[in-house]
C-alpha cells in the first residue's frame, strides 16, 4: 500500500489507485497517524496536531 499526503491525497493498493478529497482536519489526522506508523499516538498529541491546542 502506498499513501501520498503531499499534494493531493493519493492511495495505491494492489495495482489500483485513486485520489481522495479530505477536509483539512481529517487530512491532518491521517498525516499524523501515517507519520507515526507502528507507534501508539496519544489522543492529546493527535488533538494538538489537528486543532493546535487541546480544547477544554
Q: What is the pLDDT of residue 36?
A: 93
Mention every residue, 6+ apart, whose C-beta is less than 8 A from residue 41: 32, 33
Write down the pTM of the prediction: 0.71
- What are 6-56's pLDDT values in tens digits? 778 888 988 898 888 888 898 889 889 989 999 999 999 999 999 987 666
Q: With the C-alpha atoms ordered 40, 43, 46, 52, is the resulting torsion angle positive or negative?
A: negative
* Chain mean position to CA 6: 11
**For residues 15 and 38, what is the distance between their CA atoms, to the nearest angstrom?**
24
Amino acid at each position: 500500500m502506498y499513501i501520498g499526503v503531499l499534494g493531493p491525497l493519493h492511495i495505491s493498493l494492489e495495482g489500483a489507485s485513486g485520489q481522495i478529497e479530505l477536509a483539512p482536519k481529517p487530512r491532518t489526522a491521517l498525516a499524523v497517524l501515517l507519520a507515526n506508523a507502528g507507534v501508539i499516538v496519544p489522543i492529546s498529541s493527535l488533538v494538538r496536531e489537528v486543532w493546535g491546542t487541546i480544547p477544554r
